[in-house]
Chain A
Amino acid sequence: MSWLTKLKTKVGSLGKRETTPDTLWHKCRGCGTMLFLKDFNANLHVCTHCGFHERIGPAERFAQIFDDGVHERIALPATPDDPLKFKDSKKYVDRLKEARASTGETDALVVASGRIGGVETILVVQNFAFMAGSMGAAVGEGFLKACAIAVERHAPLVVFTAAGGARMQEAILSLMQMPRTTLGVADLKDANLPYIIVLTDPTTGGVTASFAMLGDIQLAEPGALIGFAGQRVIESTIREKLPEGFQRAEYLFEHGMLDQVVHRGDLRKRLITIISLLMRPQKSAAA
């Protein structure tokens, strides 16, 4: 064993919402087919019938992407809870408490290091289950930490995005994470380190309009909703009819916004290839 505290994570079980009470079956949100949970899990939470990619959390993602699933979680900096004392129909502190209890995570961003095709890589996963993956100070600070560790270890950074957008309860401080995270991306670029984005369902709002669209390589999972403005806003405010497949990964690919749309089953292999090409024995004129 190295200095890393190695741990092997099994593919986690799905949340209750998507499963029948006996958890033996999973109903596909794409086509409605009842699937054997075992088959569905073995297929990386992708429908064996229609190919619908169900949302997955950090544990599953780390298990699927890292070599043998081996990884080390990176502790993220503490940020103030509820800096604005925000209260809508519910107190923000209570929403945070609930999200922490249901996910077991502190906030919506999780970072780990491990190897992908033998190359040490920092992996960032936005957890949609935690307040819709929304970006507040904790997400911004966590992202900056991930960038700093990548630079320190001279490792590529891979980010799986998933966010409903800004953490509205942090209002302006949430908005400020757009320039803040962009500063982290600048550090990676200055260090000539690969910054690889994998957009997953859904990635919208201020997250899309900052670090999620600044990748050297932009990948996305099939069918992922990716956009800046919400579809309801576009329909109701601007009264424009939405075209077929609007804001889906394939649509963005057609419009030149992505390098590739990659099936989850091929993602690890694709990342290994990209990382091995970009991290070839160096190179850097600056060194």
Chain B
Amino acid sequence: MNWEVVIGLEVHCQINTKTKAFCGCSTAFGSEPNTQTCPVCLGMPGQLPVLNTLAVDKTILTGLAIGAQINLESKFDRKNYFYPDLPKGYQITQFTVPLVEHGYIDITTKDRGDRRIGITRIHMEEDAGKSMHEGLDAVSHIDLNRSGIPLMEIVSEPDMRSSDEAIAYLKNLHQVIRFLGVSGADMEKGQFRCDANVSVRHPGDEFGTRTEMKNMNSFRFIKQAIDYEVMRQIEVIEDGGEVVQESRLWDSVKNESRSMRSKEEANDYRYFPEPDLPPLRVSQLEVDNIKAGMPELPHQLRARFETEFGLSAYDADVLTQTRELSDWYEALVAAHPADPKRCANWMANELLGRLKELNKNIEDSPVSPNQFGELMDRMGDNTISGKIAKDVLDAMLESGKSADAIIDEKGLKQVSDTGAIDAMILEIMAANQGQVDAYRGGKDKLFGFFVGQVMKASKGKANPGMVNQRLKELLKG
């Protein structure tokens, strides 16, 4: 039987403001429990929310980056439910009129190619605190440091048809958010969390009953959870059963999901307009100003890197994976503009490979863009060969010294003096008269042997181009 998968995603993304959404408390991660709280985010009597306008600006910026409509008047609502980590007994969110609507993210997957995934809305809301039950006997602990941290909830259309598309969407969205600098989007810290709505149907049919997989914070788990859920639903239907609309929780240890609650017992959130906050009004001028300050997005950077610097699609893609990478590359070619392609190649292949082994990101690289550029220049001016350059890079990463210092210290300067190279060649020819005769007799393949001998004699320092040229000359006899 032919099944089609339908996936819609909801992403909760913490906005990286210094202070919380509705009070002045710090949003710093990892502090002692309940040290970043105040009467407002503790839900004390008589306390009122005051909106953090920076969080609004960052949500607008995100909306503009996904080609969405910014609602100049949006509204806050209360979502009512009881839970100990929700101090007020309601969450301030945007239910009826969100700040951002009708955007999209473009994705590419192997199986389905280029596709545009619709984004229904982005609304602002506040995070809840954290409840801790594990390792505690008959009590639970609550940490309200997270209570009131601003969130964007980014809701997609049910446009994805495979877990690969879902992951591609999430990765692109994640990348855009990181490029905009609107969120740390650190998944391990819960700054980028995903709920997946999954259903299956026969192509052309109405949507099937969906289930919601809650609160996943790794791309791998999300893919596993979706794949598991698809299989489970197909099995249920093929066994003659019906999928129950419910929320499910992914257990990443057991690699299975389990039911949280079914729709019959689902909360009625009793949404209604938040009377403590007037409608959120932004002017077109403010939106335009935010738009004017919008940084280049990954796809724009990729295109520019290809045209401006002549990079391969592969290199351009690698160097635009994160904002830090593209910034690093731009700093590199700004200071050392001689050969942007060589820079890109070496950065993508040699530097990043080595950093990966050192478990470092580009922003933690012990070699600065400028130092790396000097190394590129030493290849460009034939001071060293590419082969030597790799050794120099190793030494730079280890010692933090400049390329020139290492070249000097270790005497790695390339030999480009014709006289010195000729002398070496003649010595080798004299010592290998048999091979010289054979070469001259038509055994062309022996050319490589002579190159090897010269490079060996020069300890790799001879300029390879020159060696080739002089060998050809002298071997002619």
Binding partners A and B: no
